[in-house]
Amino acid sequence: MPKCKGRVLHDCHAEVLALRGLNHFLLTEVLSLVQHDSAPCFSPYLRGRNGQVGQENGTHWSGQPFEIRSNVSICMYCSEAPCGDASMEMVMDGTAGDAEPWEAVIHPDGALHGRGYFADLGVVRRKPGRGDAEPTLSKSCSDKLTLKQVTSVLSFGASVLIAITPNAYLSQVVVPADKYSEGGYSRAFGPAGRMAFARSAPLPPAFGFRPFTATVLARDFDPFPFSRPWSGGPASKAGNVSAVFVAAASNAGAAVCETIVRGVRQGFQQFGEDAKKCSALSRWKTWDLVARIVDLVLAQQGPGSVPLPVRRHLVCLHTASSYRELKEGSLGAARAAAKATVVLTLGGWRRNEGDQRWSLGQSA
């Protein structure tokens, strides 16, 4: 992890890449608005908050100059059940012939569960992997989607510029009928499942527990052509190559089209020094984009410019000594408190440390 320095993607499961891609799209949309200040552009997805922009009050960063439009809904399509708690019944069906929990077994060393330990349902799990792979602390897609029901789909970087509003949360997750377990989804994501405590837990202003709806497609719906082959179909193996496409913003930039291998763009060494290895979705590239946008926002003058208290806090993007200092500062305080509520609710959430001691001043 310390070798990543913000340049290597930790998690390349499809749901995570889709969320990171959405954040990149929204940030490029912000860029398209602020870099055309002399001739304002229209975005069908975002709008300026203008007079609604507040200031840091010690517990809640409310100085974001933009927000997602109220008529925009965010949906996610998953061709497979998200790994982790939401898919355990289907994993058991394919392994044991039924969906009954197996006999309880104590997990060694307090490590996170992977696909095994079927007696433990409703728990935080790590990303499943090959049997000979080293254990990871990267949480399952079920757990990460559960977290997004409280923190919103906005990453830390995007949340500095885009306000947390009700429509910044997933409204629905769309899944094929044979990839849906009502029990698993209700337990993993529903208000009566493992997140029941979050309904009454105190959260920072603007944040809330907003469960998404699971929309199940009809059984005769045309399947995703690149889905995992059905049982009894042609043999296949999981690959380590990810294809990423992010549409271009409304008024600026180009679409992202990348092939990712081991967390970096294909053709580059994972921990090499070549700046071109970084995916547009990496932490470093995301913060480079945020910093560029903030410079443009701070350069704006006149009635539409952000208030002085907001400027003072945005300047810390350039004065912070590391990414960790940024996340632990005032800009990330409310989001960190919201995440802490989820971590407390779920229990067993072990932090994935090591890739935070790098600065935006370091070249990529």
Q: Enumerate the H helices of 190-322 as residue ranges.
A: 283-299, 308-314, 316-319
| pLDDT confidence tier of residue 105, bands split at 50, 70 and 90 | low
Sorted by where each begins, the domain ranges of the chain are 14-223+238-346
pTM, two decimal places: 0.90
Active site residue 15: yes
Q: Which of 15, 29, 67, 258 is catalytic?
A: 15
Rounded to an integer, the average pLDDT of 144-152 is: 96
How far is Cα 291 from Cα 362, in angstroms, rounded to an integer?
13
| pLDDT confidence tier of residue 57, bands split at 50, 70 and 90 | very low
Choice among 66-80, 265-279, 308-322, 328-342 with the minimum mean pLDDT:
308-322
Compute and round to an integer the Cα radius of gyration of the chain.
21
What is the pLDDT at residue 152? Answer: 97
Instruction: Encode pLDDT of 188-229 as tens digits.
Output: 999 999 999 888 889 998 999 999 999 999 999 988 887 776
Q: Enumerate the H helices of the chain as residue ranges.
A: 14-34, 88-96, 141-151, 156-161, 182-189, 283-299, 308-314, 316-319, 323-327, 333-346
Side chain identity at residue 331, one-letter code:
L
Instruction: Encode pLDDT of 174-194 as tens digits.
Output: 999 988 999 999 999 999 999
What is the pLDDT at residue 78? Answer: 93
In the DSSP assignment, the letter for residue 305 is S
How far is Cα 206 from Cα 139, in angstroms, rounded to an integer?
25
What is the pLDDT at residue 102? Answer: 52
The two most distant CA atoms of the chain are separated, in Å, by 67
> Locate tokens 């380590």: which residue?
240
